[in-house]
Amino acid sequence: MCGITGWIDWEEDVTRQGAILETMAATMRYRGPDAKGIWLTPRVAFAHRRLMVIDPAGGAQPMAYTSGSHTYAITYNGEIYNFRELRGELETRGHTFSTKSDTEVILHAYVEWGEDFTRRLNGIFAFALWDEQRQRLLLARDHLGVKPLFYAQRGSAVIFGSELKALLAHPRVQPEVDRDGMADILGASIIRTPGFGYFHDVHEVRPGYQLIFERERTRVNQYWSLRSAPHPDDVETTTQRIRDLLKDTVKRQLIADVPVVSMLSGGLDSSGLTALAAEEFRREGRQLETYSIDFVESDEYFTGNDMRPSLDAPWVTRVAEHAMTRHHTVTVDTPELLENLLVPLYAHDVPAMGQIETSLYLIFKAMKEQATVALSGESADEVFGGYPWYHYEEILNINTFPWLAMMRRRRSLSSPPRLLSEEVMQKVSPFEYIARRYQEALAEVPRLEGEDAEEARRREIMYMGLTRWLPLLLDRKDRMSMAVGFEVRVPFCDYRLVEYVWNIPWQMKTVDNIEKGILRRALQGILPDDARMRRKSAYPSSQHPSYIKGVCDWALQILNDPNAAVRPYINVDTYRAFANKDNPVLGQDFGIGPLERLIQLETWLKEYHIRFV
């Protein structure tokens, strides 16, 4: 895992702009703390910050390869899990390699198979590849969008980077936000629109896409997408296929030249991966290290709800003992959460989630002390339909994103409280913006001819989760892990598994009348039955009164400042009513997310010198 950045320019000689390139790369030094490199030609400026995971000695980047009179170069972030198979196939075709890295395999795969080579990759990746002879830049991103990649076209230049801050460090990209950006950041913060880059005329390479930039034209190729088709297998065959895919995926994703550990919440997803990984470790005579997070006095202040019905700790112990792992619990207290509340903002370069990201950052920081790579159970709920909103009948036909409908259901509200100022509401029309984004998502859903209405609607909701909700969580995982130079792998995002499960009928997905029933069957014999049948419980958060008070006090400081940058954009009275509550309804109803976001928004407007255009 690394940070990549750079640009091409069809008109200017970029060899004289090395200082700008160095500055862009330096913004992401935490993504790649182990090494750095640049590659400059008159047309191309590539930079790389490296986190050493595979072939520490030979995988330096940017990497160039010359074959005859043809030169190719790449700057790449990610892991290719099938690179050994690809390398073997390429060697049979006459290719020779000077390193043991997957980076070199990507270059040779492009030389051998051309633009279509991306279809052969199984992994998490984002890269920029330059073909000198054809004067062609190729930007590509993995199937589900685990690794980020942003770009902007400015005049004769195409500028790119793993994070927005790298682009903002280039003088041609300014911190300007247009109407859609305002609507998204201020009013649609829990929807992630594919391809949207927040800042004016800044874009994200969409998952499963590659962009080819040539002097005279730009081409957009979708190399992977979900395809709807009848599911041919019975329950037993389906169960076995899922089990086989998971075993193969976990085995592939344990490959590294650095220590690998596993996250363990005691939930079905992380527990299943942990058990499979621990088995692989035992075959090699090793013991897997696992990590979970907890909060000071969590047992005293915990209150369950439909998203999080139970504490994790007892189940973590149960699974760790079953899998025979060496377990570590990272316990977080209020001061740490408050001190690091702005970390998500600086990692995303836009206001983000609050402690749900901060606590993740803190556990990764602790894990980094002993390891460089971890497995995570992220995305199983999106792939298999695990969230409550997949299961409430009244949400099925509400004409919006299902998690928004779920939030309204939990709060017993016909409409959310007005958080934005009247001026902003009129200018950006956030409800209309959300409705437009919802219709865009609906239009993309791959339909299955002859499917009944209920199954078709469930397919729509599953598609929303995979393409508009999951990216939020993948962004969170990437930014919080890479903020400490730590790689997190997500086996449930293996595109082969996602493709297969996509077409499993809902009744089979929920076999045994429980969410993710087919996954639970696949893990039979791998997990103890009580842990295997534990109901879905969301990622934990602190409910400690001291944290709620700390956030409320911080928010009130901003609200009481007549010169606060955020004042023109918010409904001050609504926020003040939230923050003044002695025992906020926020704690159980809205959470303290709106106040955490208010704090980040104030800092963002000031420190990023945001201009609305």
Residues marked as binding? 102, 293, 376-377
CA distances from 2 to 29, 31, 75, 137, 458 (A): 9, 5, 9, 20, 37
Running DSSP on this structure, what letter comes out for residue 582? S
Dihedral angle of Cα 7, 163, 50, 30, to the nearest 10 degrees: 140
- Known binding residues for L-glutamine: 102
Contact 384, 245 (CB under 8 A): no
Instruction: In whole angstroms, give the CA distance from residue 75 to residue 371.
Output: 24
Tokens of 75: 């700057």
Instruction: In whole angstroms, give the CA distance from residue 480 to residue 488.
Output: 10
Phi, psi for residue 339 in degrees, rounded to 5: -65, -30
Work out the angle at residue 226's Cα, subtended by the Cα atoms of residues 225 and 230, and round it to the nearest 5 degrees.
Answer: 145
Shortest CA distance to 31 belongs to which of 166, 124, 135? Answer: 166
By CB atoms closer than 10 A (0-12, 13-18, 19+), residue 549 is middle
Q: How many residues does the chain have?
A: 613
HEC string for 175-233: CEECHHHHHHHHHCCCCCCCCECCCCCCEECCCCEEEEECCCCEEEEECCCCCCCCCCC
CA distances from 126 to 26, 142, 207, 331, 342 (A): 18, 6, 10, 33, 26
Active-site residue flag, 2: yes
Dihedral angle of Cα 257, 263, 267, 273, to the nearest 10 degrees: 0
Instruction: In whole angstroms, give the CA distance from residue 567 to residue 575.
Output: 11
Contact 95, 110 (CB under 8 A): no
Buried-state track 503-516, b at ≥16 Cβ within 10 A, e below 16: bbbbebbbbeebbb
Instruction: In whole angstroms, give the CA distance from residue 183 to residue 420.
Output: 10
Instruction: In whole angstroms, give the CA distance from residue 26 to residue 48.
Output: 9
The dihedral built from the CA positions of residue 289, 293, 299 and 305, taken in this order, carries a sign that is: negative
The dihedral built from the CA positions of residue 543, 544, 549 and 554, taken in this order, carries a sign that is: negative
Tokens of 342: 């702005």
Strand, coil or helix: 340: coil
- Known binding residues for ATP: 293, 376-377
Instruction: In whole angstroms, give the CA distance from residue 281 to residue 178.
Output: 50
By CB atoms closer than 10 A (0-12, 13-18, 19+), residue 464 is buried
Dump the DSSP string for 244-269. Answer: HHHHHHHHHHT--SS-EEEE--SSHH
How many Cα atoms are found within 13 Å in the side-chain-facing hemisphere of 537? 27
Residue in 1, 2, 320, 338 annotated catalytic: 2
Residues with catalytic annotation? 2
